[in-house]
Amino acid sequence: MRLKRYRSKRIAMRPMTRLGAGDLCCLDRSCLRRSLRRSLPVLLTSLVMLVLLGIPGPLKAQIFERALVLEGVHIPLPQGGVLENSNIILKGGRIIELGPDSDAPMMSKKLKVKGLFATAGLTDLSSTLTLEDVSSGDSIASAWDGFDRYDSRQILRALSSGVTRIHLVPMGPGGIVGRVSALSLGSREGGGYGILQNEDVALCIDLDAGSPLERIRTYEKVRGALKSAQDLREAVDDYNSDLEEYIEALEEAAKKKAEEKGEEKDEEKDEEKDSKKDEKDEKDDEKKDDGKDSKKDDEDGPKKPDRPERDPAAQILLQALDHELPVMITARRSADLQNAIDLIEEFQLSAIVRGADEAHLLLEELAALEKVSLLLEVPRSSLTRDGGPRRDPHLIAQLDEEGISWAVGSGGESTSLWRSIQALSGQVDASSPLSLALAQGASGPSGGWLRRGSKEVVLWEGNPAEDPLARPNRVIINGTVVWQRPSGSREGSF
Amino acid sequence: MNSRNRGWILLLMGMIGSCWPGAKVVALETTVVISPVAVVAPDGSICGQMAVVIQSDGTIAAVIPADQADPALTTVRAAPGSVLTPGLHDLFGQLGCGQNTLIAGTVLFDFELDAAAAFDPTLAELDQAATHGVLYSTIAAAPAGILNGSSATFLCLSGAEAYPMAAGRPVYALAESVLQSSREPTSRAAMISLWKEWIGDGVAKNKDPGILFCPDSIDFRQTLSLSWKSLPVLVHQGDARSPVERLAGRNALMVVGPFLEDGNPAAVETAIRAARTGTELAFRGGLPATPAHHLRGSAAIAVAAGLDGDAARRALFINPARVVGGDSIGIIEPGARADLVLFSTDPLDPAARVLHVWRGGQRLLKRTRGSIRELGGVR
C-alpha cells in the first residue's frame, strides 16, 4: 500500500508536459517499434474478436468445437465382416472420419468405448411413441403435435433399443387420422427430446379400428372424404374459369364506360364558358349522374362468381390424390386389406399398407397395384382362434416372390423394433438382422450404414450382425450421448 | 408307461396326426441319437458339439460329446447352429383349461382343491402349443383364499388322457384378491395376522412352503417381512424394485412376467434386480391368450434389459420345473424325460424357429410350409 501511494504521489508530482509538433522528431524508430511491439497482441486479439463476431454460429461451432472421438470400436460392414479397432471422429455433431487409420485430433474429447460395436441408429417406420393418450381424427392433425418431447421415460426406452429416428403414426378412432411425422430422438436445446425432420411423411388412414360394421362405415367415410375433395377441386376449377370470364367481362364493361365518358367530356367543353358557380353545380349534377350510371352498370354488368369455401383438410387430401403425399393405410385382416386395395385402385394412390398380416390371402391383388409397399409389424397372435389376424410364417418369402416391397415397423413404442426385425430376419435368406434394420429409412439423410456425415451412432455390446443377444450400450445423436446403459446394480432405466 | 398303454397312445397319436394336418407323430422304435447339436446345459449355458441319446422308453440315456456317439444308432442330424433344449413350460396360464376357470376362495384354507380338475386333455390347443415348443402346462386356481389347493402340471398332448408331470404343490396368496367383504379377512392387517399364524403352525407342519402369489409391490414387501423358515416360490408381476433387494442371500425362486412388448418396464427391471441378488427366475406363461412365442419373448425382453443370457435360459427351461417340483423335466441329463425342442438357433434369439419337437422321445414333425395357416385357421 505504501509503495502504491508513493508511486501515485510521484506521478502526481511529475510536471504535466505535452508533446508539440516539433517534439515528434525526438521519437526515433526504435521508440515506434517498442510501442508497436507492446500494442501488437492487443491489436491482434481485437482483430480476431472482430472476425469471430462476424462468423455465423454453426460455423463457429464447427471450427472451435472439440472433436468427439470413439476410440477402439468395431464397425460391422455391409458386405459382412468387421472393421476392428477403429476410431470414429465426430465434429459438429457429424462423423467426419472413421476407420482404423483415423487419428484423433488434438484437444479432442475421447469416449472410453473400446470393444463396443458401432452402427448407425435404427429407424422405426411405424411408431406411436408418447402418443398413448393422443387421438386425432382429420387430415390436418399432425402426429408431431401430439408428441410429448418431455416424456423422457418412454423416449429413453426407445433409445435404449437402438432406435434413433421414428416415423410417428397418429392414432385415432379410425378413418383419416392425421399425418405421419418423421423425427430424430436427439435432445433439444430447450429441453426434452425430438427434432422434427419432416411433418408430412404420409397421410394416415386407419381401416382396422372397430367392429366389422364400423370398419365398413369407416371405409365409406374415407371414400366419401376423398370424393368430396375431388368435388372441391372441380368446384375450384370452375370458379377459376368463371373468374377469368368475369374479369374479361369487367374489362369490356370498363371499356364501354370509358367510351361513354369521352362523349360526356366533349359536351362539358362546350359549357365551359358558364360561371364558376354554375360549373360547380353542373359538376355536382354530373357526379350524381356518374354515380347513377355506375350503379346501373353494377346492376346490369357481370356478376362475380362465388368462391368455394376454403377447406384445409380437403387440400391435404388433394395432395394425396396428386401423389405429393403418400398415404399410409392401416389394414390387417383380409377384408380390410381388400378395402385398402379398392381405395388405392379407385383413387390411384401412392400407398403404404401398414400391418397387412393377412396379405398372403391377397398377394395377386397387391402385386397388381403400382406404387404400393407393405409396412409389416410383428403380430402378437395368441393360440385362440379369435385372437386377431393370422400371418403366414412364410409371408416374407411370398412377398419377395411377388416382388412386393416391404419394411418392418414396431407399431408401438419402438422398443420392440429390434426384436421384430430379428424375428423377421429368420425368414429372409442371407440377411443379417442388422442389414435388414439399416435398410429401413436408408434413403434419409443419415440412414443406412455408418458413414461420414452420419449424425447418429449406436454402440452395442456384442456384434448385432451376428450375436442375437447384442444390446445397445450407448446412443449418440448430434455428438451428444443421449442414452447410456446404466452400470451397477441400481439401474434406473430399462 | 407300460407297453400296452403306449400302443394305445401311439394309435391315438396316429389318429390325431391323421386328423390334424399340421403335425404328425413318429413313433420311437429304437434308440435315437440327436447329433451333433448344441445343448442347453443345466446351468443355462449352451454346450456345442454334443450328442443326446434317447432310449426307447422315452428318456434320455446319455448326453455325450458328439464324437463319442455310436454311428450305428439311428441318428437325427441337427442343422448347423441349432440348439436342443428341454421343453418350454407355461406356468400358471390357462393352457388346457378351455373355458374352465378354477376359482378358490369360498374356503380360506382350501386343502382339497385340485387344479387338475380343470384340465381338459382333449383340447387341440395343447398340441398347438407343443408345435411352438411349449411342452408343459402348470395350472392353478385363481388365488382368492390364503391356501388355494394345489397346482397341477401336465404334458401338452391332446388326447383322451392327461399326463401329469409333477405332484401338485400348495398355492398360497398374500394379495388383495384374498380380501372379501363376506368372510375373513376383510382387511390387509387381518390377512397379515392370519399369515403370521399360518406360518407359525401350518407351513411348519406341511413342510412344503409351496407357491405364493404376491402380485403387487405391497404384497411382495409384506411377504418378505414375514418370518419364513423356508421362502416359498414367489409369483410376482408388479413393480417391486425397492423391496426386491431384500431377497439377497435367501436362495429365492421367483416367477415373473409375462413380459409383453411395450409392457411395464418396471416389472422387467424388478426381475433383473432380483436376478442380481442371486434369485433364480422363472418366466410365467399366459397361454393361450398371450402370443404363442410369449415365453421366449419374455426372455428376449429381459435379456435386452440386462438379464444374463444363461439366467434367461434357466428361467425358460430349468427353473419352471423347479417351481412345480418336477423331477425329470426341464433338464437334459441322463434319466430325464426326452421332452426336447430343437430350435434353429439360440432360443433367446427372436429369429429362432422350432425345427423339431420330441415328446417322451416321440418326434412331432412340423410341416415346413403353411403349417400355421392350417393350425391357426384363416377366417
Distance from CA of A425 to the nearest CA of B (A): 6
Domain membership of residue B104 (yes or no) is no
CATH number of the CATH domain containing B184: 3.20.20.140
Domain membership of residue B99 (yes or no) is no
Cβ atoms within 10 Å of B101's Cβ, excluding its own: 11
Are both B227 and B260 inside the same structural domain?
yes
Do A482 and A476 contact (CB within 8 A), yes or no?
yes
Do B331 and B321 contact (CB within 8 A), yes or no?
yes
Radius of gyration of chain B (CA): 21
Q: A491 to chain B: which residues are within 8 Å by CB?
A: 269, 272-273, 306
Cβ atoms within 10 Å of A452's Cβ, excluding its own: 12
Cell of A459: 454402440
Q: Who among B290, B309, B376 is closest to A390 (CB)?
A: B376
Distance from CA of B187 to the nearest CA of A (A): 34
Contacts 24+ apart (CB under 8 A), A219-223: A219/A339, A219/A342, A219/A343, A221/A175, A222/A175, A222/A176, A222/A343, A223/A343, A223/A346
Q: Who among B272, B350, B378 is closest to A422 (CB)?
A: B350
Are both B137 and B200 inside the same structural domain?
yes
Q: A413 to chain B: which residues are within 8 Å by CB?
A: 262
- Judge whether B287 is closer than 8 Å to chain A, CB to CB: yes
pLDDT in tens, B234-271: 999 888 888 888 898 888 999 998 888 888 889 999 99
Say if the Cβ atoms of A422 and B301 lie within 8 Å.
no
Say if the Cβ atoms of A468 and B291 lie within 8 Å.
no
Do A378 and A357 contact (CB within 8 A), yes or no?
no
Domain membership of residue B95 (yes or no) is no
Q: Side-chain half-sphere of B375: how many Cα atoms within 13 Å?
A: 28
Domain membership of residue B145 (yes or no) is yes
Instruction: With H, G, I as helix, E, B as strand and everything else as coil, classify residue B41.
Output: coil
- Residue that terminates a domain, selected from B299, B324, B349: B324
DSSP B274: H
Q: B279 to chain A: which residues are within 8 Å by CB?
A: none
Cell of B268: 422387467
Are both B23 and B82 inside the same structural domain?
yes
Q: Who among B129, B266, B344 is closest to A383 (CB)?
A: B129
Cell of A411: 407399431
CA B335 remoteness from chain centre: 19
For residue B194, give the amino acid letter.
L
Are both B68 and B178 inside the same structural domain?
no
Say if the Cβ atoms of B297 and A420 lie within 8 Å.
no
CA distance A417 to A377: 9
Q: What pLDDT, on a 0 to 100 scale, did the predictor assign at position B49?
A: 92
CA distance A409 to A387: 21
Are both B364 and B244 inside the same structural domain?
no
Are both B298 and B361 inside the same structural domain?
no
Residue B37 has pLDDT above 70, yes or no: yes
CA distance A230 to B89: 57
> Given strand A372-377, what is the order of strands in its sheet?
A122-127, A163-168, A175-187, A193-206, A327-331, A351-355, A372-377, A405-409
Domain membership of residue B101 (yes or no) is no
Question: A460 pairs with which residues across the strands?
Answer: A117, A472
The total domain count for chain B is 2
Are both B156 and B251 inside the same structural domain?
yes
Structural domain for B76, as ranges: 3-87+332-376
For residue B46, give the amino acid letter.
I
Q: Who among A157, A468, A485 is closest to B265 (CB)?
A: A157
Say if the Cβ atoms of B292 and A385 lie within 8 Å.
no
Contacts of A235 by beta carbon, 8 Å cutoff, 6+ apart:
A308
| CA quadruple B54, B55, B58, B60: dihedral, nearest 10 | -50
Are both B289 and B160 inside the same structural domain?
yes
What angle (nearest 5°) sits at the alpha carbon of residue B85, between those of residues B82 and B88? 125
Q: Who among B262, B276, B353 is closest to A489 (CB)?
A: B276
CA distance A345 to A60: 53
Do B343 and B85 contact (CB within 8 A), yes or no?
yes
Which pLDDT band, with edges at 50, 70 and 90, does B376 fall under?
A: very low
Q: What pLDDT, on a 0 to 100 scale, did the predictor assign at position A9?
A: 44
- Judge whether B370 is closer than 8 Å to chain A, CB to CB: yes
What are the residue ranges spanned by the domains of chain A? 61-115
User: What's the first-to-final CA gap in chain A, in angstroms?
Assistant: 64
- Residue that terminates a domain, selected from B280, B302, B324: B324
Burial (CB < 10 A; 0-12, 13-18, 19+), residue A188, is exposed
- pLDDT in single tens digits along all 494 residues of chain A: 444 444 444 444 444 444 444 444 444 566 667 766 777 777 777 666 666 556 555 555 555 678 899 999 999 998 888 999 999 999 988 999 888 888 878 788 888 899 999 999 999 999 999 998 788 888 888 999 999 999 998 999 999 999 999 999 998 888 999 999 999 999 998 889 999 999 999 999 999 988 889 999 999 999 999 999 999 999 999 999 999 999 999 998 888 888 888 877 766 666 665 555 566 566 655 555 555 555 555 556 778 888 888 888 999 999 999 999 999 999 999 999 999 999 999 999 999 999 998 999 999 999 999 889 999 987 666 666 555 777 787 888 899 899 999 999 998 889 989 988 888 887 776 568 888 888 877 665 545 888 888 899 999 999 999 898 999 999 999 999 999 988 754 444 33
User: Could you tell me which chain B residue has the CA closest to the CA of A490?
Assistant: B273
Peptide bond into B209 cis (omega under 30): no
Do A119 and A434 contact (CB within 8 A), yes or no?
yes
Contacts of B157 by beta carbon, 8 Å cutoff, 6+ apart:
B13, B121, B126, B127, B130, B163, B359
Are both B80 and B201 inside the same structural domain?
no
Residue % of chain B over a pLDDT of 70 = 86
Do B308 and B282 contact (CB within 8 A), yes or no?
no
CA distance A369 to A344: 8
Distance from CA of A354 to the nearest CA of B (A): 18
Instruction: With H, G, I as helix, E, B as strand and everything else as coil, classify residue A153.
Output: helix
CATH number of the CATH domain containing B340: 2.30.40.10
Distance from CA of B362 to the nearest CA of A (A): 23
Averaged pLDDT, B20-48? 76
User: Could you tell me which chain A residue has the CA closest to the CA of B132?
Assistant: A383
Question: A373 pairs with which residues across the strands?
Answer: A352, A405
Do A342 and A225 contact (CB within 8 A), yes or no?
no
User: Could you tell me which chain B residue has the CA closest to the CA of A416?
Assistant: B261
User: Could you tell me which chain B residue has the CA closest to the CA of A417?
Assistant: B261
φ, ψ (nearest 5 deg) of residue A213: -65, -40
**Interface predicted TM-score of the whole assembly (ipTM), two decimals:** 0.77
DSSP of A192-223:
SEEEEEEEEEEEEEE-SSS-HHHHHHHHHHHH
- Judge whether B351 is closer than 8 Å to chain A, CB to CB: yes
Contacts of A75 by beta carbon, 8 Å cutoff, 6+ apart:
A82, A83, A86, A88, A98, A99, A117, A118, A119, A450
User: Could you tell me which chain A residue has the CA closest to the CA of B369?
Assistant: A394
Cell of A225: 372424404
What angle (nearest 5°) sits at the alpha carbon of residue A151, between those of residues A149 and A156? 100
CA distance A30 to A112: 55
Domain membership of residue B97 (yes or no) is no
Are both B267 and B350 inside the same structural domain?
no
CA distance A102 to A284: 90
CA distance A381 to A383: 7
CA B162 remoteness from chain centre: 16
Distance from CA of A445 to the nearest CA of B (A): 28
Are both B234 and B113 inside the same structural domain?
yes
User: Could you tell me which chain A residue has the CA closest to the CA of B124?
Assistant: A383
CA distance A296 to B33: 107
Which helix (DSSP H) or strand (DSSP E) does residue B354 occupy?
Answer: strand B354-359
What angle (nearest 5°) sits at the alpha carbon of residue B280, between those of residues B279 and B284? 120
Are both B163 and B302 inside the same structural domain?
yes
Q: Who among B95, B129, B372 is closest to A393 (CB)?
A: B372
> Given strand B280-283, what is the order of strands in its sheet?
B109-114, B147-150, B170-173, B211-213, B233-235, B253-256, B280-283
Question: B211 pairs with which residues across the strands?
Answer: B171, B233
Q: Who among A161, A382, A491 is closest to B292 (CB)?
A: A382
Angle of helix A212-270 relative to helix A276-300, nearest 10 degrees, comes to 150
pLDDT in tens, B39-69: 999 999 999 999 999 998 899 999 999 998 8
Residue that wins the pLDDT comparison between B77 and A429: B77
Domain membership of residue B94 (yes or no) is no
Say if the Cβ atoms of A469 and B297 lie within 8 Å.
no
Residue that wins the pLDDT comparison between B30 and B31: B31
Residue B274 has pLDDT above 50, yes or no: yes
CA distance A491 to B52: 40
Distance from CA of A485 to the nearest CA of B (A): 9
User: Could you tell me which chain A residue has the CA closest to the CA of B267?
Assistant: A494
Angle of helix A417-425 relative to helix B294-304, nearest 10 degrees, comes to 130
CA distance A200 to A54: 36
Q: What pLDDT, on a 0 to 100 scale, did the predictor assign at position A170?
A: 93
b/e per residue, A41-60, with b = 16+ CB within 10 A? eeeeeeeeeeeeeeeeeeee
Q: Who among B303, B305, B351 is closest to A423 (CB)?
A: B351
Contacts of B79 by beta carbon, 8 Å cutoff, 6+ apart:
B342, B344, B355
- Return the biggest CA–CA distance within chain B: 69
Domain membership of residue B187 (yes or no) is yes
- Judge whether B306 is closer than 8 Å to chain A, CB to CB: yes
Q: Side-chain half-sphere of A221: how many Cα atoms within 13 Å?
A: 16
CA distance B241 to A449: 38
Q: What pLDDT, on a 0 to 100 scale, did the predictor assign at position A263?
A: 75
Q: B373 to chain A: which residues are within 8 Å by CB?
A: 360, 390, 392
Helix, strand, coil share (%) of chain A residues, nearest 5: 45, 25, 35
DSSP of B104-143:
--SSSEEEEEEGGGG--TT-THHHHHHHTTEEEEEE--B-
Q: A409 to chain B: which residues are within 8 Å by CB?
A: none
CA distance B127 to B132: 9
